[in-house]
Amino acid sequence: MVTKELIMMIDKPSFTVKLNRNLLEVELKEDVKKELEDIARARLLEANPVFRGSLGILFQSIVPLDVQLKDIESVEQDEKGQVKIIIPHRKDITIPLEPNESKKLISKLNELIPIEKQRKTERIIASEKAEKEHTQQKEEERVKFAPEYSRARKSTSL
């Protein structure tokens, strides 16, 4: 479950980073997004007019970027002072921030990520327990009604 409890926000000229209790959001500002779409549209249309309809879908898929904290493997500061986010089975994300902003964001992420990973583990355990109880209950009902079912079958087959 994703909640929108804002913990930290970093506003840059071309994008905004929002850290929520269980979600990291990176959103391009509208004018930057429009400029990128215009550049991409001009270049892609020169190459192939078929891309015209799919360009908007492409940018909606990539930007904004939302990452659930439970999915983040690690967060570190690269040699330029930017935030590098490692996510298994996905390309790493680099957020170009000033070194002091990076340190603050990394610190908060390293505080929140373990909490979200623990919640994920608890949800999995609770789900497995509920599934096991449900299976056990079904088995008990089957065994409970099995003798009656057997007797009814025997009496009809004679």
pLDDT digits (tens, 9 = 90+) for 114-155: 999 999 999 999 999 999 988 888 887 777 766 655 555 555
User: What is the DSSP annotation of 62-103?
Assistant: HSSEEEEGGG--EEEE-TTS-EEEE-TTS--EEE---HHHHH
Return all residues near 112 (Cβ < 8 A) that are at least 6 apart.
7, 19, 21, 22, 69
What ranges do the domains of the chain cover?
6-119
User: Would the pLDDT of 50 be above 70?
Assistant: no
Give the right CATH number for 6-119 from 3.10.450.30, 2.30.29.30, 3.40.50.2000, 2.40.30.10: 2.30.29.30
> How confident is residue 108, by pLDDT bands cut at 50, 70 and 90?
very high
Evaluated on CA atoms 26, 29, 30, 36, the torsion sign reads negative
Q: Provide the token pair at 110.
A: 């390293």
Look at the pTM and tell me if it is higher than 0.85: no
